[in-house]
């Protein structure tokens, strides 16, 4: 429905196209839904995509199972699969990668949810599991800052880190392939704060180990000091007895 909608479709089935130039060059892609002018405009063979909004998923060609909702939402996705973008001009960091989610655009200054996010953490989803190599040394090099965001009209103070600085500390720690720092297609840095939790816990454990060692040394020094005090007391008592004995001898001599 709409001028040149599904214009080049040859054998694609079960596609829904509403809007001028929506699914314009689709040929064999199936089960796509495009609503809005230019939505899924470049789609050729990809299937199972949903694009709602002007030029949403505009550049997608062969990426399957993407969902975009909003004006220009996901418009830079090209070959990535299973990506989700929600909101005006919302974009995932990289249009060729898969399994990414973006809610909102770079102008957003607040995001809220009624309860805390639950992050998947089951062992069965992980491999190459090792004790963290980032701990106290890494944490102590980080530079905590406070700042205001350029797009925040209220200029609220925020606390955190500068992603470029964290990247440098990671490099110093020989960590070069970490999910903590990512860059989008425009070169803008993003940071996953959740990944700092494990190094923080490790740093606390290392501090506790150092503290326990110091406590043990202090207890040992206290025990040594107690022995020294006892020895000093014994020496003083011996000296006292000695002086008393000498005084008595002097008295005897004087009497004689």
* Tens digits of residue pLDDT in 112-127: 889 988 888 999 999 9
CA distances, 147 to each of 92, 113, 144, 157, 166 (Å): 25, 23, 10, 6, 16
The whole-model pTM stands at 0.73
Q: What pLDDT shows up at residue 253? A: 64
User: Which residues in the chain land under pLDDT 70?
Assistant: 245-256
* Tens digits of residue pLDDT in 136-195: 999 999 999 999 999 888 899 999 999 999 999 999 999 988 889 999 888 999 999 999
Q: What pLDDT shows up at residue 153? A: 86
Q: What pLDDT shows up at residue 231? A: 93
Q: What pLDDT shows up at residue 256? A: 57
CA-CA distance, 40 to 23, in Å (whole number)? 5
Q: What pLDDT shows up at residue 238? A: 87
Q: What pLDDT shows up at residue 243? A: 73
């Amino acid at each position: 429905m709409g001028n040149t909608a599904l214009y080049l479709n040859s054998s694609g089935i079960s596609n829904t196209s509403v809007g001028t130039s929506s699914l314009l060059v689709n040929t064999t892609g199936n089960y796509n839904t495009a609503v809005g002018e230019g939505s899924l405009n470049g789609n050729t063979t990809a299937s199972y995509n949903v694009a709602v909004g002007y030029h949403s998923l505009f550049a997608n060609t062969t990426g399957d199972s993407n969902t975009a909702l909003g004006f220009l939402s996901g418009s830079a996705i090209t070959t990535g699969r299973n990506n989700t973008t929600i909101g005006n001009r919302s974009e995932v960091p990289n249009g060729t990668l898969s399994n990414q989610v973006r809610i909102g655009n770079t102008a957003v200054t607040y995001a809220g949810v009624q309860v805390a996010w639950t992050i998947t953490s089951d062992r069965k989803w992980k491999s190459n599991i090792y004790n963290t190599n980032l701990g106290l040394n890494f944490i102590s090099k980080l530079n905590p800052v406070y700042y205001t965001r350029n797009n925040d009209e209220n200029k609220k103070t925020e606390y955190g880190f500068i992603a470029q600085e964290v990247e440098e500390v990671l490099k110093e720690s020989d960590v070069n392939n970490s999910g903590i720092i990512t860059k989008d297609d425009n070169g803008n840095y993003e940071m996953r704060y959740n990944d700092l939790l494990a190094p923080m816990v490790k740093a606390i454990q290392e501090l506790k180990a150092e503290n326990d060692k110091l406590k043990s040394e202090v207890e040992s020094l206290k025990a040594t000091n107690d022995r020294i005090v006892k020895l000093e007391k014994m020496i003083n008592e011996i000296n006292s007895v000695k002086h008393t004995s000498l005084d008595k001898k002097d008295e005897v001599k004087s009497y004689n």
